[in-house]
Amino acid sequence: MNVTVKVWRQKDNSAKGAFKSYAVHASPDMSFLEMMDVLNSDLIKKGEEPIAFDHDCREGICGMCSLYINGHPHGPLQTTTCQLHMRSFNDGETITVEPWRAKAFPVIKDLVVDRSAFDRIQQAGGYVNINTGGVPDANEIPIPKKVADEAFDAATCIGCGACVAACKNASAMLFVSAKVSQFALLPQGQVERKERVERMVAQMDAEGFGACTNTKACEAECPKGISVTNIARMNREYFGAMLSSYEVAGGGGEG
């Protein structure tokens, strides 16, 4: 099949970017990233600079393959870009490829963006800081299956940033709420429960992400199907923590 790939090219963060179109011959059975490899091989043979794009495992696990394809994060299917195949497109189609568009995700080069903002949010509170000793028996701490399933579902977030790219406000609420939920639901995460949500939300705001306006585009585009119910849980956690801090500070006395 023959396609035209319209790609965003940008030398670095300070340079002005622009779209450039390339003709590519690809097999329908190729993954999208394999098609990009073919395109880069052609560019190198012509003495041109290859297109920079992120990738790692190519197994749908790491989320590095963050490309905005034809108006959708990771492309037209609810999956990671590396699991998207060229048979999802039509012969002769023009495919537009862009980087994530968000103030908090500045472009490094071409299709590569700096997603270290997610790392800083995680470092602000996404951990369990207790002395666990040796590895406990799996059944030593009784956790209801429903709760365990919800925690595991939240923990499947791979931090790819598709939620930010899909949101008209570039909100990171789905990512942050998933990381808050996976700890808040389990006994092991109770020690820092209040401080965790306060710190992670504060870091999210400091990074410049937008607010959530409940359009649910994040859930619709998330390759791991993270539910927006996590956002509701994070809001409850946050307001509860803030109220507790207010009362400790002496603001809860009688008027």
The domains of the chain are located at 2-108, 116-248
Record the tokens describing residue 160, joined without a space: 């790819």
- For residue 4, give the amino acid letter: T
Q: What percent of the chain has pLDDT over 90?
A: 84
Which tens digits make up the pLDDT trace of 214-236? Answer: 999 999 999 999 999 999 999 99
Residue 141 pLDDT? 73
Amino acid 230 reads N
What is the mean pLDDT of the segment spanning 155-165? Answer: 97
Question: Three-state SS across 62-73?
Answer: CCCCCCEECCEE
Q: Are 161 and 171 in contact (CB under 8 A)?
A: no
Task: Let me know: does 90 contact 118? Beta carbons within 8 Å.
Answer: no
- Residue scoring higher pLDDT (221 or 132): 221
**190 or 90, greater pLDDT:** 90
Per-residue pLDDT reduced to its tens digit, 243-255: 887 666 666 555 4
The whole-chain average pLDDT of the chain stands at: 93
Predicted confidence band of residue 211 (pLDDT cuts 50, 70, 90): very high
More confident site: 255 or 88: 88
Mean pLDDT value across residues 10-17:
95
pLDDT attached to residue 255: 45
Please indicate whether the domains covering 2-108 and 116-248 agree at the CATH topology level: no
Q: What are 181's two structure tokens? A: 């939920």
What superfamily does domain 2-108 belong to in CATH?
Answer: Beta-grasp domain (3.10.20.30)
- pLDDT value at 135 more than 90: no
Q: Given this model, what pLDDT does residue 191 score?
A: 87
Helix (H, G, I), strand (E, B) or coil at 57: coil
Residues 73-93, mean pLDDT to the nearest whole number: 97
Tally of CA atoms within 13 A in the half-sphere of 116 that contains its CB:
4
**Rounded to the nearest 5 degrees, what angle is found at the Cα of 121, between the Cα atoms of 115 and 123?**
110
116-248 under CATH 1.10.1060.10, yes or no = yes
For residue 52, give the nearest of 14, 97, 16 by alpha carbon: 97
Helix (H) or strand (E) holding 204: helix 193-206
Which of 59-68, 136-145, 177-186, 220-229 is least confident?
Answer: 136-145
Percent of the chain residues topping a pLDDT of 70: 92
